[in-house]
Structure 1
Amino acid sequence: MRWSPFALVALLKQSQAALRFGCGTVTIQRLDPVVQSNVSPSAHLHQVVGGNAFSPNMTGDIGNQGTCTTCTFSEDFSNYWTAVLFFKHTNGSYKRVKIMENDALPAGINGGMTIYYTQQDFNSNGNKKITAFPPGFRMTVGSPTQGKDGLTKHKGLRFTCLDTKSTRFPEIDDFPKKPCKGGLMTEHHFPSCWDGKNLDSPDHQAHMYDTQPTGFAAGGACPSSHPVRVPQLAYETLWDTAEFKDMWPKDGSNPFVFSYGDQEGHAYGTHADYMFGWKGDALQRAMDSSCMFNACENGKPLKSQSVAQMNACKAKEFVNEDHEGWLKALPGMTA
């Protein structure tokens, strides 16, 4: 996020209901209960955070399923997931890139992502009613089959070449062309206008509409077809690409590839999935409050838990598959 110290001061004075919190990795496996429900294994590997009820087929109120969550807020049993990043060696083998915690979050979180639920924008909060997602709600953003035009149309799918974990700009629409000293950050911003009727749609996107010109920015009014303003949901994932800084191809070509197997070497197919799972009215209480980031913890108004409790939570392994070390092919792909 591109905040100057002056902008942050203004943000704290004006904004309401902005959640930013960490969720550790609950599982890394080939499952996708939104796009490939009841399929095990799914087509490609995902890194998943949130509630431990994650499984090939998930229906009903996810907030009432599972026994733990890897998220800071212990009332959040939602699941959030993205494709996994791999390094492709010049010899044709692959190695999964490790995930780092954001330095704005408590230290020691096991991989995972930084999750945001914010108001319409960071400048005129309080003048729009933000409606929490209902039980059973799910959506996706991006697609592993989209071309460059997909990223051009949706400004919320971006990458940042990190100098340090605090770097937040510039945002670019493809993999960096050179090694990044502090790693790579992937960013996924979801649309924030809902049709108010459908918990999902055949393509998992048509029930939503995007009015954001870019990631964290003032959004336009929701259209009559999608009149309900829901929280602006966003993920940030930090990948420890620095491990491979001395292995870049001599021709300077990009050596990273997502788990869906984009062999052209670009990142246009970046995508993310979301399945709502907050308990009761917890998210609505947060959106109706004036709390900001970690000030929302410890019952003000949301219950929170320790990093040790977050890291102790794990989902069941349904796919017995090795994705550690150097691999001859991406999981689910042929060499």
Structure 2
Amino acid sequence: MTHVMPPSAFKRWRGRLAVLAAVAVAGSAVTVTAILAAPSDPPPALLSKGKAATASSVEGEHWAARNAVDGDTTSRWSSAFQDPQWIQVDLGSESAISKVVLNWERAFAKDFTIQTSKDGSSWGTVATVKDGKGGVETVDVSASGRYVKLNATKRSSQYGVSLWEFEVYGKAGASNGTTPPPAQTGTSTSSAGTTAVSPTTTTVGTSTSSSAAGTSTSAPGTSTGGVALPPQKPIPPNAVHVAEFVAECGFSHRLPDDPIVFPKLAGASHLHTFFGNTSTDAQSTNDSLMVADTKCNPVEDKSAYWTPTLLVDGQPVDPPTSTFYYLGEGVQDEVTKKIQPIPAGLRMIAGNAKATSSDDNTSKSRWDCNGASVTPGKDFVSCPAGARLQSYLDFPQCWDGKNLDSPDHKSHMSYPVHPGVCPATHPVPIPKIRQVVNYPVSGVDASRIKLSSGPGYTYHIDFMNGWPEVEMGRRVRDCINRIVKCGHNGNP
């Protein structure tokens, strides 16, 4: 009797036969998976946000470790300016960890490891990165632990390492069964909760001083922010109690360059007169300044200073030198005693190159005559024979505590507000830089004088900090905070 298979059954049989044939061809080792796909695993959770974070060091109270796990990409952790450095986060319980995302500020680590620990004491390395590129880096890992540490072994620049965010992803309260390898030689074994610098430590370069002028609790070998300062010398009996140190910087060269406003664009600016660092041009960076020569006294000052070129009848006039006073004035004495060192890499512009009238230039600048009594103003004056044209300009001295520069190159800085304190938006007081320059221009009518940027009220000055941290820190500690007048060598 012939049995006829219904069409629907035949289709089912044919499909099963095809599967069996595929298995036979592949061999007996094939495992047939379920036809229905299992539900996909949920994405890893952000485990580190708002958790307790500690670090090997902090640059100052504004750059605490907790800033790197607060979920705010406008606050950051920043370390001392030396290798190695680390930051770690306590996830609260042992967790399965699948990736770490590092959102670097410009100061990033080129070489680093990711380490985990169950107890915050014994650490194992679960990822190693060489020649990192900064930006936002994602490091995939397969590990378990309660504590996760970034151990930065090589900086990308002269500064420390700095993170906007340190994010750890995975599954809380779980383990993926992976045991980290034993800790490597030289890896940090600091326990959770310890830091090399107290969260209340002031910005890098200062040392602990009492509030009374002339006294100090500094000792040889002490440091703040990881920068060791030399022992503090006593104040001599004949010291002048004015908060000041000074740099005398000779004329270096002229170029139509501006590495702050037009970086990497040679010839894009009006003509500038450069003082101090002899290498300054459109390509200059803070790193390049630190290895170049200087025409400053003291020679430790590698800073770049530049102004628009002064022209008489259209011809450049180069002053032989320019004096830069670093002052504690402009704020109350109690604020002066708390002034912080100018941070490495800070860039500033004072004045307004685009001013169309004296009212447009709100900086503390003026023109007068050295050796004659004239009414100072923001435009040129006619100096009689025997008197030299002279300019004054004060930089702002209140820093926002976060940014070494800003899009307009000014908004990260502010002048003090009444009664001599820094505004809440710019809470960090730094020394006020005052430029005083005497031009070899005498007996010349003011109508014959111009700047490469325009009238006298367009006068401005740019600054890229090139002071070594130890020298800046020592001078602020010994001269500014103690309200003592120091010479070129930084001593009373």
TM-score norm. by structure 1 comes to 0.68
In the alignment, which residue of structure 2 is the partner of 1:202? 407
**Pairing 1:177-196 to 2, within 5 Å after superposition:** 177=382, 179=384, 181-196=386-401
1:77 aligns with 2:263: no
In structure 2, give the amino acid aligned to 1:280: E
TM-score norm. by structure 2 comes to 0.47
In the alignment, which residue of structure 2 is the partner of 1:304? none
Residues in 1 aligned to 2:398 and 2:335: alpha-carbon distance in whole angstroms = 16
SS at match of 2:458: coil
In the alignment, which residue of structure 1 is the partner of 2:435? 235
Q: From the superposition, tell whether residues 158 and 124 of structure 1 become closer, same or farther in structure 2 (CA, over 3 Å).
A: same
**Which residue of 65, 70, 78 maps to 2:291?**
65
In the alignment, which residue of structure 2 is the partner of 1:278? 467
In structure 1, give the amino acid aligned to 2:441: T
Moved more, 181-190 or 199-208: 181-190
In structure 1, give the amino acid aligned to 2:439: W
In the alignment, which residue of structure 2 is the partner of 1:268? 457
1:215-248 Cα shifts (integer Å, max 9, x gaps) = xxxx721011000001101111111112x64xx4
1:93-129 Cα shifts (integer Å, max 9, x gaps) = x222241xxxxxxxxxxx1201111113498377531
1:20 aligns with 2:220: no
1:159 aligns with 2:363: no
> What is the Cα deviation at residue 35 of structure 1?
1.0
1:13-47 Cα shifts (integer Å, max 9, x gaps) = 4333x112311112122211011111111321111
Structure 2 unaligned regions, length at least 5 = 1-237
In structure 2, give the amino acid aligned to 1:142: G
In the alignment, which residue of structure 1 is the partner of 2:426? 226
Residues in 2 aligned to 1:45 and 1:65: alpha-carbon distance in whole angstroms = 25
Q: From the superposition, tell whether residues 159 and 117 of structure 1 become closer, same or farther in structure 2 (CA, over 3 Å).
A: same
**Which residue of 22, 30, 50 maps to 2:276?**
50
1:290-327 Cα shifts (integer Å, max 9, x gaps) = 35242x52x738xxxxxxxxxxxxxxxxxxxxxxxxxx
Residues in 2 aligned to 1:268 and 1:65: alpha-carbon distance in whole angstroms = 34
> Would the aligned equivalents of 2:392 and 2:435 in 1 still touch at CA under 8 Å?
yes
In the alignment, which residue of structure 2 is the partner of 1:323? none
Residues in 2 aligned to 1:82 and 1:209: alpha-carbon distance in whole angstroms = 20
In the alignment, which residue of structure 2 is the partner of 1:97? 317
In structure 2, give the amino acid aligned to 1:163: G
Q: From the superposition, tell whether residues 43 and 180 of structure 1 become closer, same or farther in structure 2 (CA, over 3 Å).
A: farther
Residues in 1 aligned to 2:331 and 2:408: alpha-carbon distance in whole angstroms = 30
Residues in 2 aligned to 1:86 and 1:292: alpha-carbon distance in whole angstroms = 35
In the alignment, which residue of structure 2 is the partner of 1:35? 261
> Would the aligned equivalents of 1:62 and 1:78 in 2 still touch at CA under 8 Å?
no
> Would the aligned equivalents of 1:191 and 1:212 in 2 still touch at CA under 8 Å?
no
Structure 1 unaligned regions, length at least 5 = 1-10, 89-93, 100-110, 214-218, 302-335
Residues in 1 aligned to 2:420 and 2:330: alpha-carbon distance in whole angstroms = 10
In structure 1, give the amino acid aligned to 2:290: N
In structure 2, give the amino acid aligned to 1:37: P
In the alignment, which residue of structure 2 is the partner of 1:138? 347
> What is the Cα deviation at residue 180 of structure 1?
5.5
> Would the aligned equivalents of 1:120 and 1:128 in 2 still touch at CA under 8 Å?
no
> Matched residue pairs, number?
250
> Would the aligned equivalents of 2:312 and 2:450 in 1 still touch at CA under 8 Å?
yes
1:300 aligns with 2:491: yes
**Bigger Cα Rg:** 2
Residues in 2 aligned to 1:178 and 1:160: alpha-carbon distance in whole angstroms = 8
% identity of equivalent residues:
29
> Would the aligned equivalents of 2:247 and 2:301 in 1 still touch at CA under 8 Å?
no
1:167-191 Cα shifts (integer Å, max 9, x gaps) = 8x75322211464631101111100
In the alignment, which residue of structure 1 is the partner of 2:478? 289
Q: From the superposition, tell whether residues 292 and 14 of structure 1 become closer, same or farther in structure 2 (CA, over 3 Å).
A: closer
Moved more, 204-213 or 273-282: 204-213
> Would the aligned equivalents of 2:390 and 2:436 in 1 still touch at CA under 8 Å?
yes
SS at match of 1:171: coil
**Which residue of 348, 356, 360 maps to 1:150?**
360
Residues in 2 aligned to 1:53 and 1:125: alpha-carbon distance in whole angstroms = 38
1 or 2 for the larger relative contact order (CA 8 Å, sep ≥6)? 1
In the alignment, which residue of structure 2 is the partner of 1:129? 338
> Would the aligned equivalents of 2:335 and 2:421 in 1 still touch at CA under 8 Å?
no
1:108-163 Cα shifts (integer Å, max 9, x gaps) = xxx12011111134983775311112222101011221132133x33x11111222
Residues in 1 aligned to 2:417 and 2:370: alpha-carbon distance in whole angstroms = 24
> Would the aligned equivalents of 1:62 and 1:277 in 2 still touch at CA under 8 Å?
no
In the alignment, which residue of structure 2 is the partner of 1:103? none
In structure 2, give the amino acid aligned to 1:32: D
Moved more, 180-189 or 117-126: 117-126
